[in-house]
Amino acid sequence: MRSASRSAQIAGDRVEITVPLSFRQDRIVYLGKEAVRADVLQERVRQKMESAAQKDVFLRGDGGVNLQEVMEVTDILKAAGVEHVGMVTKSPGDR
């Protein structure tokens, strides 16, 4: 069983990418809360993965984002050295 502090540390180390609906126009995603252009995303994520014990990223697409856009970002993440990309969804009550 994990200690509360270890669980908090894991949650704090968790790398999350959000693909907003505006991605198709401006090519910007969010790395946590920071806006990052798609053309520099690979390098930014690669830097984060260097020190990460687990090379996992959680990817969320806003409503209206199509599969092609999500897969484009997934390809960038894989090129950055991400081993596993988990898809995050919102439950119907999380609006």
* Whole-number pLDDT of residue 93: 54
How does residue 92 score in pLDDT terms, banded at 50, 70 and 90?
Answer: low
Instruction: Give domain status of residue 94, yes or no.
Output: no
Instruction: Give domain status of residue 95, yes or no.
Output: no
The CATH number of residue 28's host domain is 3.30.420.270
Cβ neighbours of residue 83 under 8 Å, at least 6 residues apart? 54, 55, 56
Instruction: Give domain status of residue 67, yes or no.
Output: yes
Instruction: Give domain status of residue 66, yes or no.
Output: yes
8 Å CB contact between 20 and 28: yes
Q: What is the dihedral of CA 10, 30, 57, 47, to 10 degrees?
A: -80
Identity of residue 1: M
Range of the structural domain that residue 57 is part of: 15-87
Containing 35, the helix (H) or strand (E) segment is: strand 34-37
State pTM to two decimals.
0.78
For the chain, how many structural domains are there in total? Answer: 1
Instruction: Give domain status of residue 8, yes or no.
Output: no
Which tens digit of pLDDT belongs to each residue from 40-62?
999 999 998 888 888 899 999 99
